[in-house]
Amino acid sequence: MISITSPNALEAIAKEAKNLQIYPDQKSTLLREALAKKFGLADGNIICGNGSDDIMQILASTYLNPGDEVIISKNTFSLYELVARIFGGRLVMVGLKDHALDLEAIARALTAKTKIIFLTNPNNPTGTIFTAGQFDSFMKKIPENVLVVVDEAYAEYVESKEFPDTIKFVKEGKNVVVLRTFSKFYGLAGLRIGYGLAKKELIAPMFRTKMPFNVNRLAQVGALAALGDKEFLDKTYKTNVEGKNFLYPELDRLGLDYKKTESNFIFINLKKSADECFLAMMKKGIIIRPLTSFGFPEAIRVSIGTKEQNEKFIAALNKPG
């Protein structure tokens, strides 16, 4: 994780702090206009939330009725499951295939009761993607009444040219909701701001369900400033690519089994206790994520950091205990 925040965002937030006696804009108008321009959409295609977590909850509260089926992949980000449960959805869990989302199996899990499908691309915690070709054939199998939510929290890190253009489906009027966030690439996780992109007919009801002031003033101005901070964004992308180029040969040298990533973290299968590795690394001042709670008790997720952080991690991994 290159967790340095956009300097432009920090400056905008500091300036906005003097206006905190005023309620925020309920519609995050300026930010939605900027996002609309960036993606070639209208502002009616965009809703902002208190993190993309908030958009997931708004989605479920707007569209999910008790007993509706929600298809989710196993061993991935847990929040889809939580929101589905809160609103009485019936979970249909589909396993990964070779540590990646199995779109064919997900399509086979469809029933007349399916309401929402959650897809994560790139996937957390494995860093894999499904391609444009795979998504195209998947969408051909999905009935009109099913909502396909594609969580692209890590999209800005993707290098692969095969990453799907999901916004094309939004423009075509399909039942696709794309989720994005300022928490990862933009380094603003503590600010809590994310957004959803979808056709107007899907977004408008969500505005009626959300809490009026769900996005605070600082988040609105901070995100807007970060969005235009090209120098910071280019640097973040470059540092992540350089980190991968350093870490892959080092992990090969150590004989470790890992997945090539399209994100800002690497999934490493240690083939021994991830929790023990976590404790050993903590003693060396390094925090890694043991993936026990994701259902991988022998794997860890390591954020790609700065050159110094990556070197420190490899040195620590070299000398366990």
Ligand X SMILES: Cc1ncc(COP(=O)(O)O)c(C=O)c1O
Residues that bind ligand X (CB under 6 A): 51-53, 77, 120, 124, 151, 153, 181, 183, 189, 194
- Residue whose CB is less far from ligand X, 148 or 317: 148
Residue closest to ligand X, measured at CB: 51
Q: How far is the CB of 76 from ligand X (least distance, A)?
A: 7
- Residue whose CB is less far from ligand X, 294 or 317: 294
Question: Which amino acid appears at position 280 of this protein?
Answer: A
Cβ-proximal residues to 209 (8 Å cutoff; 6+ apart), any chain: 58, 61, 62
Which phi-psi region, left, alpha or beta, contains residue 302 (left: φ > 0; alpha: ψ -120 to 50)?
beta
Cβ neighbour number for residue 299 with a 10 Å cutoff: 25
Q: How far is CA 191 from CA 223, 226, 283, in A?
A: 9, 12, 29
The helix, strand and coil proportions of the chain, stated in percent and rounded to the nearest 5, come to 45, 15, 40
- Residue whose CB is less far from ligand X, 151 or 262: 151
Q: How far is the CB of 318 from ligand X (least distance, A)?
A: 28
Q: How far is the CB of 283 from ligand X (least distance, A)?
A: 25
- Residue whose CB is less far from ligand X, 8 or 183: 183
Structure tokens at 131: 């391609």
- Residue whose CB is less far from ligand X, 186 or 317: 186
Q: How far is the CB of 312 from ligand X (least distance, A)?
A: 23
- Residue whose CB is less far from ligand X, 26 or 78: 78
- Residue whose CB is less far from ligand X, 83 or 317: 83
Return d(Cα 267, Cα 98) in angstroms, integer: 12
C-alpha dihedral sign at 46, 49, 51, 54: negative
Contact 296, 269 (CB under 8 A): yes
Q: How far is the CB of 273 from ligand X (least distance, A)?
A: 23
Secondary structure class of 46 (helix, strand, coil): strand
Q: How far is the CB of 271 from ligand X (least distance, A)?
A: 24
Strand order in the sheet with 46-49: 46-49, 194-197, 176-181, 147-151, 114-120, 69-73, 90-94
Q: How far is the CB of 217 from ligand X (least distance, A)?
A: 18
Q: How far is the CB of 274 from ligand X (least distance, A)?
A: 18
Contact 78, 220 (CB under 8 A): no
* Helix axis angle, 52-63 to 200-209, nearest 10°: 100
- Residue whose CB is less far from ligand X, 184 or 317: 184
Cβ-proximal residues to 154 (8 Å cutoff; 6+ apart), any chain: 122, 124, 127, 184, 185, 262, 263, 264
